Amino acid sequence: MNLLLTGAAGGVATQIRPLLLERYGSVLLSDRVQPEALQDGETFVAADLGEPDQIDALMKQCDAIIHLGGVSVEAPWQPVLEANIAGLYNVYEAARVNKVQRIVFASSNHAVGFYPRDIVIDHEKPVRPDTRYGVSKAFGEALGGLYADKHGLRVFNIRIGNVADRPIDRRRMSIWLHPEDLVQLCAIGLEHPDVHFETVYGFSKCEPAWWDNRRATELGYQPKHRSSDFRDEVLAADPPPGPGDASEIYQGGTFVLEP
């Protein structure tokens, strides 16, 4: 497989690059700026999601993509529009033209961030974005559906929680995703023969769980890491919130408060 990782200089990519290299032997990396510490087997090509010619050139060199590129937090509309809406369209369109087989799309929990924490949601619930960023991720999921159904790309949307070595606070106890578990999900998206168009949640074994990830389980996902292993230290460092704090009612946390 000729694998392309976009957004390769970002925080999530930095955590999974060694694991991808181990599994796939070589990886083409792309971003606007060069990632640090390139290893044997990693090749970097600079590209801007807003430049269709640059994206087209990238797609000529790969047959599968993990797309982490774009704006990864709430931001003003213009950068969200340019990278996550128009830029993602450039990616899908170049993928279609160059007959790329598969795309793993880094969606986000913020596509569903306005669901309250006291209900468990699955992959069939309608989106409830908490931000412009979350709206762009919902758009990205839908764009993947179009290219899967109309053009036959195999698309795997992962609604990623928070990628880190450990849960960093009370909210992340429910949405934490260890890099190894993320790579396991990416591998399903890149390799599973039944993937046509799928949306799954990107979290490790978390408690309390807000997401029913049965579709990922059906496809073979078996997370190895458990947030409860960190419960005592995380809860001690992050005291319970006061009543009525909106950022504690909704799954998206402080994103729901962003103007």
Binding interface with ligand 15L (CB under 6 A) = 72-73, 108-110, 162
| Residue 84 or 100 with smaller CB distance to ligand 15L | 84
Residue of 92, 115, 133, 221 marked catalytic: 133
| Residue 90 or 108 with smaller CB distance to ligand 15L | 108
Angle at 71 between CA 44 and CA 33, to 5 degrees: 25
Three-state DSSP class for residue 120:
coil
- Tell me how far, at minimum, the Cβ of 143 lies from ligand 15L, in Å: 17
- Tell me how far, at minimum, the Cβ of 144 lies from ligand 15L, in Å: 17
- Tell me how far, at minimum, the Cβ of 232 lies from ligand 15L, in Å: 21
| Residue 154 or 172 with smaller CB distance to ligand 15L | 172
Three-state DSSP class for residue 201:
strand
- Tell me how far, at minimum, the Cβ of 201 lies from ligand 15L, in Å: 12
User: Is there a catalytic annotation at residue 133?
Assistant: yes
| Residue carrying structure tokens 């309608």 | 126
Q: Which two tokens stand for residue 111?
A: 């596509």
| Residue 15 or 162 with smaller CB distance to ligand 15L | 162
Residues that are catalytic: 133
